[in-house]
Amino acid sequence: MNRKLIMFDFDGTLADTLPVFVNVFDQAADKYGFRRLDRSRQQELRNLDARQVMAIHEIPWWKVPAIATFMRSAMGRSLADIHLFDGMADVLRALKAQGLMLAIVSSNSRSNVVAVLGPELAALFTRFECGASLFGKLPKIRKVLAAAGVAREQTMLIGDEIRDARVSAEAGIDFGAVAWGFNHVEALIAEQPAQVFRQVAELARLG
C-alpha cells in the first residue's frame, strides 16, 4: 500500500514519557483519591487496556477529564525529563523527505508535544490534534483525515497502546504497533495491526 498520511501518537510512541507519566500518575492519585501505580504490577499492567488499568486503580469516570487536565499540566512542568526515542528525529526527517504527510493525534497537550519536538521537528508535521480525552481520539483522527484529503486506505496511525489499535479500527485506517511503548507488543499483536515495528529505524520504511 502506498501510504500518504502517517498519524503518530506521541506518548510512548515518539517520546519516552513513561518515567514522567508514572510520577505524574501518583501525583494525580494523591490529588483525586485513587490508587497509586503499583510498581510490582507494572509489567502486568502493560498487557491491559486503559479501561482495565482504570478499574484496577479505582479511577471514577466522572473524574477523568479533571485528572487528564492535571496530568497534562504536571507533565508540562517536567518537559526537561522527556525526550524522543533514540533515532526518532532521523525517522521523522526521512519520512518527510519521502513526501509523506505527518500528523500527531495525542492526549497530551500541543504545547507539551511541540516543546519536546523542538521547532525543526515540529515543522515537519502538517497537523496537530492534541488534548484528546482518554477515549476521544476518533474525532481527532477524522479531523486530520478531512483536512488532509487523503483516503483512509492510504493512512496509518502509529501507536503504542491497545486503545490506539481500537480507535484505528473504528476510523477505518490501518494501525502500526510499536514495540517500545506502554503496552507489550504481544498485547498489540492480538489487536491485529497492519504492521509491527520492533525497532525505531523500521519506521523509516513506511513510505
pLDDT in tens, 71-125: 999 999 999 999 999 999 999 999 999 999 999 999 999 999 999 999 999 999 9
Q: Which CATH superfamily is domain 5-16+82-205 in?
A: HAD superfamily/HAD-like (3.40.50.1000)
Tell me, yes or no, if the pTM score tops 0.85.
Answer: yes
Confidence of residue 172 (pLDDT cuts 50, 70, 90): very high
Average pLDDT, the chain: 94
pLDDT of residue 207: 62
pLDDT of residue 66: 94
Q: Which helix (H) or strand (E) holds 118?
A: helix 110-122
pLDDT of residue 109: 94
Residues 110-141 have pLDDT tens digits of 999 999 999 999 999 999 999 988 778 999 99
Beta bridge mates, 178:
197
Confidence of residue 43 (pLDDT cuts 50, 70, 90): confident
pLDDT of residue 1: 58
Nearest residue to 85 (alpha-carbon basis) of 165, 181, 176: 181
Task: Give, in degrees to the nearest 5, the angle at Cα 13 between 202 and 173.
Answer: 80
Nearest residue to 167 (alpha-carbon basis) of 100, 111, 107: 107
Residue type, 91: V
Average pLDDT over residues 53-60: 90
Distance of CA 63 to the CA centre of its chain: 21
- pLDDT at residue 201 greater than cutoff 90: yes
pLDDT of residue 38: 83
Radius of gyration over every alpha carbon of the chain, rounded to an integer in angstroms: 16
